[in-house]
């Protein structure tokens, strides 16, 4: 991005904030002043932030955490879904009132309206939650809102507003046919694009086979505005996708917000929260499903030969195995993202100016 475009971009953000108080720019770049450690508002001050490190030895068994009722998750309906690349991730959105989540210790019925992915630049990192300090390669979030509220944006303002089902993803083995929709990512490589004719697919096959073993805690959105309105479910068992399918995600063109660092937020302090489990944690020692497949992980190296090519045989990812980025891209000011509401963010002019400088420096460096 040249200097002129950079200045124009920042000015747009300035006016946007001054007059509409839309969300501030933010990035996943670890040491940038707009990076995760400096995200504004409750992101920095909250005591119920997500994700967290799930320390299995510190969890509490709750026998009240029973099985979920997942309405229509087991059906391939005659509908189409919308897939989007919002500059941070690939997401799929669904009509409200069709796919519902209840049971599983939830007091209300939640309706599923979208899911999206978090992943890293390689297979050793990428999940947002970690278990006993270990990352998975990716994490998928099914986002549902409480049907007693008018819509997703309304629900964001309530402690019991959202229920997110999180599942860990490892890389290895054959293509997982439940994730065939990832082929649509070929048409979403550019940021801020969407396609609305993706044939419906079954959700239950995306989730782990065992849906009764999970962690539960109260937390937040993992992107600004970081609202603390999420009842989190993180399934114990991971699912596998192939390296090819992982690369389909990584080929998504990223914006300045992610660069090559991935799109996962670092874990946040637990404070006085309790992590409950639907299962005896001792069971975890009897399964390998919660551990990263180190063999697969070690097979991934920065020298891995790209396996994704377009129809002309042109590689869509760089020789390092990391999706290429388009530094010339000038994305619009982010307003509504997959994980967040477009709530107003209060801040002082001084802080805003410092963040503008940070934004500028981050953009120039990257």
| Whether 54 contacts 130, CB under 8 Å | yes
Q: Which is nearer to Zn ion, 24 or 221 (CB)?
A: 221
**Count of positions on this chain that bind Zn ion (CB under 5 A):** 2
Q: Could you tell me the smallest distance in angstroms from the CB atom of residue 359 to Zn ion?
A: 23
Q: Which among 29-37, 151-159, 337-345, 352-360 is the span making contact with Zn ion, rule CB under 5 A?
A: 337-345
Pattern 125-144, binding to Zn ion, x per CB under 5 A? ----------------x---
Question: Of 241-249, 303-311, 334-342, 348-356, which part binds Zn ion (CB under 5 A)?
Answer: 334-342
- Neighbouring C-beta atoms of residue 40, cutoff 10 Å: 20
Using CB under 5 A as the criterion, what x/- string covers residues 141-180 for binding Zn ion? x---------------------------------------
Report the Cα 81 to chain-centroid distance in Å: 18
CB nearer Zn ion, residue 86 or residue 324: 86
Q: Among residues 160 and 339, whose Cβ is nearest to Zn ion?
A: 339
Q: How far is the CB of 142 from Zn ion (least distance, A)?
A: 10
Site for Zn ion in 207-266 (CB under 5 A): none
Residue 75 burial (C-beta neighbours within 10 Å; 0-12, 13-18, 19+)? middle
| Smaller CB separation from Zn ion, 153 or 360 | 153
Catalytic residue, chosen from 16, 88, 116, 141, is: 88
Strands 239-241 and 162-171: parallel
The interaxial angle of helices 3-20 and 349-365, nearest 10 deg, is 150
Q: Which stretch binds Zn ion (CB under 5 A): 208-216, 284-292, 300-308, 331-339?
A: 331-339
Q: Which stretch binds Zn ion (CB under 5 A): 99-107, 207-215, 320-328, 332-340?
A: 332-340
Which of 220/247 has CB closer to Zn ion?
Answer: 220
Q: How many Å apart are CA 92 and CA 181, to the nearest integer?
A: 9
The secondary structure of the chain in percent helix, strand, coil, rounded to multiples of 5, reads 20, 20, 55
Identify whether 88 is a catalytic site residue.
Answer: yes
For residue 323, what are the contacts with CB-CB under 8 A and spacing of at least 6? 250, 251, 252, 253, 254, 260, 316, 317
Does residue number 339 form part of the binding site for Zn ion (CB under 5 A)? yes
Q: Is 196 exposed, middle or buried (0-12, 13-18, 19+ CB in 10 A)?
A: exposed
Binding residues among 11-50 for Zn ion as defined by CB under 5 A: none
> Distance between CA 54 and CA 51 in Å, rounded?
9
| Interface with Zn ion (CB under 5 A) | 141, 339
Residues assigned a catalytic role: 88
């Amino acid at each position: 991005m040249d200097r002129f475009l950079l200045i124009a971009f920042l000015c747009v953000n300035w006016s946007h904030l001054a007059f509409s108080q839309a969300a501030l720019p933010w990035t996943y770049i670890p040491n940038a002043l707009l990076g995760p450690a400096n995200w504004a508002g409750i992101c920095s001050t909250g005591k119920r932030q997500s994700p967290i490190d799930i320390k299995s030895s510190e969890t509490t068994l709750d026998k009240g955490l029973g099985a979920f009722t997942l309405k229509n998750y087991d059906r391939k309906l005659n509908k189409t879904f919308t897939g989007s690349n919002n500059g941070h991730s690939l997401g799929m959105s669904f009509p409200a009132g069709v796919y519902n989540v209840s049971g599983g210790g939830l007091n209300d019925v939640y309706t599923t309206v979208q899911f999206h992915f978090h992943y890293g630049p390689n297979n050793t990192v990428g999940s947002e939650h970690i278990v006993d300090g270990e990352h998975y390669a990716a994490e998928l979030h099914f986002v549902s809102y409480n049907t007693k509220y008018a819509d997703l944006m309304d629900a964001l303002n309530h402690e019991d507003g959202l229920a997110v089902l999180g599942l860990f993803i490892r890389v290895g083995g054959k293509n997982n046919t439940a994730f065939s929709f990832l082929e649509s990512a070929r048409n979403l490589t550019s940021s801020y694009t969407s396609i609305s004719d993706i044939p419906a697919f079954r959700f239950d096959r995306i989730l782990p086979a065992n849906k009764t073993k999970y962690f539960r805690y109260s937390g937040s959105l993992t992107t600004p505005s970081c609202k603390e309105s999420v009842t989190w479910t993180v399934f114990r068992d991971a699912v596998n996708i192939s390296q090819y399918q992982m690369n389909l995600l990584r080929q998504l063109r990223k914006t300045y917000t992610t660069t090559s660092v991935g799109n996962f937020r670092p874990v946040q302090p637990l404070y006085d929260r309790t992590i409950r489990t639907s299962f005896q944690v001792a069971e975890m020692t009897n399964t390998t499903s919660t551990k990263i497949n180190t063999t697969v992980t070690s097979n991934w190296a920065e020298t891995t030969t790209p396996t994704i090519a377009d129809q002309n045989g042109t590689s869509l990812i760089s020789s390092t195995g990391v999706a290429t980025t388009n530094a010339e891209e000038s994305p619009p000011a982010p307003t509504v993202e997959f994980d967040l509401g477009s709530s107003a963010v209060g801040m002082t002019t001084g802080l805003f100016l410092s963040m503008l400088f940070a934004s500028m420096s981050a953009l120039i460096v990257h």
